[in-house]
Amino acid sequence: MIKERNLITINKTDQSKISSVDFNNIPFGRVFSDHMVSIKYTEGQWQSAQILPYQEVKISPACSALHYGQSIFEGMKANLDEQTGDVLLFRPQKNAQRLNASAIRLGMPALPVDLFLDSLYQLVKLDRQWVPTVKDAALYIRPLMFATDPYIGVRASENYRYINFTCPVGAYYSKPVKVLVGDKFVRAIPGGTGDVKAAGNYAGTMHPAILAKKTGYDQVLWTDGYEFKYAQEIGTMNVFFIVDGKALTPELDGAILPGVTRESVIQLLKDKGVSVEERKVSIEELIDAQEKGLLQDAFGTGTAATVTHISDIGYKGKNYQLPPIEARTISNEIKVQLDGIKRGLLPDTYNWIVRL
């Protein structure tokens, strides 16, 4: 059993919105559960945590996060074990650690891991009716931290707010995605912030994504920022390729987000006997494999996206169509296995699940 150690004040809503939600038809990220966690950082320390009715946040127009981008976030999911009624969280300690890696990189205060976890557990337990049970749906959990100083001088803020809210979600991608290899704009380079979850990382990807959409692609497959030669990630997901039975995924070079799903998929692949190479993966190598009929699969991994197939890769004005989804044995099996562990349908042999 999980023990909560931090004293958390709970102020419950008296107007639950749950009856207005159609759980069979949930869009991603637009429906929010009844409560949220709020913790303020003032005078050099984290204050006590509160669980409040989900509500708007009041900030000054001079709020430093708005101007200089000290803002970070995480993404997690909870599922219901329908046999036991337990709510299952997937590796939340990893998210606590990564939030703090992001905080440190952006000059923000780390949040004690037990405070992150205890407030998360209480929040999810309180809103457990919001965990959807329909296929491909889950309770998405969005912790975030941002600077709150009303000050427009450029320096690390002295005050911060941590919030964690949840939303029942359906699939992030409802079909396989078409990706366009990025060869002009840079998402991240080693030494930047691409390996942490800084809000600003995503801002720089919006314009290239709009351009990619105009040419019929769903997402940009980012490449290294120097030569535009090596695959990096998709922005919403890490990326894997299956070439001649081997799994290739870009190595964590300091510009790529160390995804929790990425790490878990690598483990599952290895334990299935698939050889996994974490290394530089050049686009030319992939195109060459495709032309020889050896590029058997490509897929993205992420909390929101889970395992999402890539149907097409656009590169230098040409479109390369990948094998049909039914033929993608490895990724199809990994998706079922991961989903089964997350929903308590398969044994948690890796100890990844926290039951509430």
In the complex, which residues of this chain contact ligand COI (CB under 6 A)?
75, 236, 302-305
Helical spans, DSSP H, in 53-205 = 64-68, 92-105, 113-126, 199-203
Question: 196 or 242: whose CB is closer to ligand COI?
Answer: 196
Smallest gap, in angstroms, from Cβ of residue 349 to ligand COI? 24
Smallest gap, in angstroms, from Cβ of residue 303 to ligand COI? 3
d(CA 8, CA 123): 10
Smallest gap, in angstroms, from Cβ of residue 208 to ligand COI? 15
Smallest gap, in angstroms, from Cβ of residue 192 to ligand COI? 17
Question: 188 or 295: whose CB is closer to ligand COI?
Answer: 188
Smallest gap, in angstroms, from Cβ of residue 90 to ligand COI? 11
Q: Are 181 and 223 in contact, with CB atoms under 8 Å apart? A: yes
d(CA 228, CA 29): 32
Backbone angles phi, psi at 33, to 5 degrees: -70, 180
Q: 135: helix, coil or strand?
A: coil
Question: 49 or 234: whose CB is closer to ligand COI?
Answer: 234
Question: 38 or 303: whose CB is closer to ligand COI?
Answer: 303
Q: Are 299 and 249 in contact, with CB atoms under 8 Å apart? A: no
Count of Cβ atoms closer than 10 Å to residue 191 Cβ? 9
The residue with its CB nearest to ligand COI is 75
For the record, the structure tokens of 259 come out as: 């995804």
d(CA 192, CA 255): 7
Question: 90 or 315: whose CB is closer to ligand COI?
Answer: 90
Smallest gap, in angstroms, from Cβ of residue 257 to ligand COI? 9
d(CA 235, CA 209): 10
Question: 243 or 260: whose CB is closer to ligand COI?
Answer: 260
Q: At what angle do helices 92-105 and 113-126 cross, to 10 degrees?
A: 130
From the CA atom positions of the chain, what is the Rg in Å?
A: 21
d(CA 185, CA 187): 7
Question: 8 or 307: whose CB is closer to ligand COI?
Answer: 307
Cα–Cα distances in Å, from 353 out to 11, 266, 303, 349?
28, 17, 14, 9
Q: Are 52 and 12 in contact, with CB atoms under 8 Å apart? A: no
Smallest gap, in angstroms, from Cβ of residue 139 to ligand COI? 12
Smallest gap, in angstroms, from Cβ of residue 190 to ligand COI? 21
Question: 170 or 315: whose CB is closer to ligand COI?
Answer: 170
For the record, the structure tokens of 13 come out as: 């809503």
